[in-house]
Structure 1
Amino acid sequence: MFIRNESFYSFRKNYPVVFSLVIIHIVLFAWINLTSLTNGLIPFGDTIFQLGVGFNAAIAAGELWRLITPVFLHQGLTHVILNSFALVLFAPPLEKMIGRSRFIIVYLLMGLLANVATFYLGGLYYSHLGASGAVFGVFGIYMYLIWKRKDLIDAASAQLILILTLFSVVMTFLSPNINVYAHIFGLFSGFLLAPFFLRNAVPFFSVQHYKAPAEEPVFNPNRWKGRRRFRAPIGQRLPRWIGYAFVVLIVVGLLARAAELFF
């Protein structure tokens, strides 16, 4: 369910909402940071950041758009990579199961509720940004699937997402500079909204179809001689590398945090 073996083209075609969200993450992240690195040669990056960051005092003053704009903004490289990888790996099945329109609505709604919780609990001068609240909302939907809708998720995927969710919650409280309110309330919002958006959902199956041979195969002991080993196109191998990188980043982050705590 979470094994991505599509090419870049097929991923873009099959999951346009997830693809668009990741592109928005990358473009805005690059824009904001390139403005700083080029001393304003690339304009408006500082303006995007200043107007988009979730600053509670500004929200209290009436700038309510700041309850949704932080969902698209990231400042740290690790932050944007982890959130984007999480979307690429875990969001596509939901987009297929509930449809594009319902997915984007519930995604933005989960991010909004996570930021509303941050506004009420984080203090007047608390500021934040990132898609983590909405991403944890995706995990919350999967928690509901595991609890009530086992017809929509296979056992292996359920075990994987449960372990990753528990690990992510633990890391939320161990890692510094984390918006704990957004993570926890994003998770709960996804769980609570799931039954409304999963109505008429269809199971997601990632199936590769193979063309049957035209003739009965004949054994040839020399068939591999002189042939190069087959390798899938880079577009099909890239998602697997992304998955490996995601796991490595999690492990490195955990080890780094452990070193800070105990040494």
Structure 2
Amino acid sequence: MDQVPGSPQEPQNADGERGLPGCYRHPDRATGIHCTRCERPICPECMVSASVGFQCQDCVRGGSGTGHSAHATAPRTIAGGVVAADPRLITKILLGLNVALFIAVSAADDGLIGRLDLIGLAFDPDQYRLVGVAEGEWYRLVTAMFLHQQVAHIAFNMLSLWWLGPPLEAALGRVRFVALYLIAGLGGSALSYLLAAQNQPSLGASGAIFGLLGATAVLLRRLNHDMKPVLILLALNLVFTFLWPNIAWQAHVGGLVVGAAVAYGMVHAPRDRRTLVHTLTCVVALLAVVAVVWVRTLQLVG
């Protein structure tokens, strides 16, 4: 394929600005900003504000221009995902699932939460048997991510999801965003299972939310945006996590670490090996979760 001057394959240095590429439409104008879809250098005149970063005018028009790379004719997110018409769809679905389950649990008998929340190993007097992840109830690692017991709890988590979700969904694409959310939530569940008391129940989307917070920090760093707001928010949430009573700090920390790690692999993957790197990143993270669950299970029943 022929390389187009000023395209991501062959950026041109602008005269008088050593080391900085020139705008793809105005090669004489040096710029450090790149389109978040096709990654071509763009000057202030050519950049269009997007939900995350800036896009070039060709990508905004859907690649209708001529004389540019194939990446512009097939717009992709910074992580290589397909650009969606509604960058909030998955966020809305996740929010709806959490709210729907909250309503269902509130309307059902009190025992429903006890059958779905995260607990390592405990005796259930109603069922006269041992229950928990260690007893083979692996589904609790997932169902606990969508459970909430108090209105304030779900309200805080859903507001956080609505604030953090759409920018990440727009930047990563729907499939990668779903993977990030679920794997981060599983990371939080796994660390809770490992470190919390075996008979201590826990629930909530906080692990996944902290994963989104960690991913936001990684994305902003990748885009060279100001890190202060997200770092301040992260610090405040961590202080709240460790000082407020009855909070499963293990889920918060586990989700934060796993979410940041998965996001790093997604936004820093080489363009020509994105699918491979993204797949390996998710597989390694899932294997780490499985390893933690296996170790803890051996401790409890081995």
Count of matched residue pairs = 180
Contact conserved, 1:107 with 1:138, CA < 8 A, in 2?
A: yes
Identity of aligned residues (%): 31
**In the alignment, structure 1 residue 184 sits paired with structure 2 residue 253:** yes
Counterpart selection for 2:196 from 108, 122, 128 = 122
Partner of 1:60: 134
Deviations 1:220-242 (A, max 9, x none): xxxxxxxxxxxxxxxxxxxxxxx
**In the alignment, structure 1 residue 31 sits paired with structure 2 residue 117:** no
Counterpart selection for 1:139 from 213, 221, 228 = 213
SS in 2 for 1:123: coil
Distance across 1 between alignment mates of 2:268 and 2:217: 16
Counterpart selection for 2:233 from 164, 170, 190 = 164
Contact conserved, 1:72 with 1:131, CA < 8 A, in 2?
A: yes
TM-score by length of 2: 0.55
Unmatched tracts of structure 1, length 5 or more = 3-11, 37-44, 203-263
**In the alignment, structure 1 residue 50 sits paired with structure 2 residue 132:** no
Q: Which amino acid aligns with 1:198?
A: V
SS in 2 for 1:14: coil
SS in 1 for 2:247: coil
RMSD: 2.4
Shift of 1:141: 1.1
Deviations 1:116-153 (A, max 9, x none): 11111112112100000010011111222344x134xx
Q: Which amino acid aligns with 2:181?
A: Y
Higher relative contact order (CA 8 A, sep 6+): 1
Moved over 6 A (4+): none
Q: Which amino acid aligns with 2:118?
A: G
Deviations 1:39-75 (A, max 9, x none): xxxxxx743x233211111101111111111111111
**In the alignment, structure 1 residue 93 sits paired with structure 2 residue 162:** no
Distance 1:93 1:200, change over 3 A: farther
Distance across 2 between alignment mates of 1:88 and 1:182: 20
Distance across 1 between alignment mates of 2:162 and 2:150: 18
Q: Which has the higher helix share?
A: 1
Partner of 2:147: 73
Distance across 1 between alignment mates of 2:214 and 2:142: 19
Shift of 1:199: 4.7
Q: Which amino acid aligns with 1:51?
A: R
Shift of 1:200: 6.6
SS in 1 for 2:108: helix
Distance across 2 between alignment mates of 1:145 and 1:14: 16
Counterpart selection for 1:18 from 91, 102, 108 = 91
Shift of 1:164: 1.0
Distance 1:120 1:28, change over 3 A: same
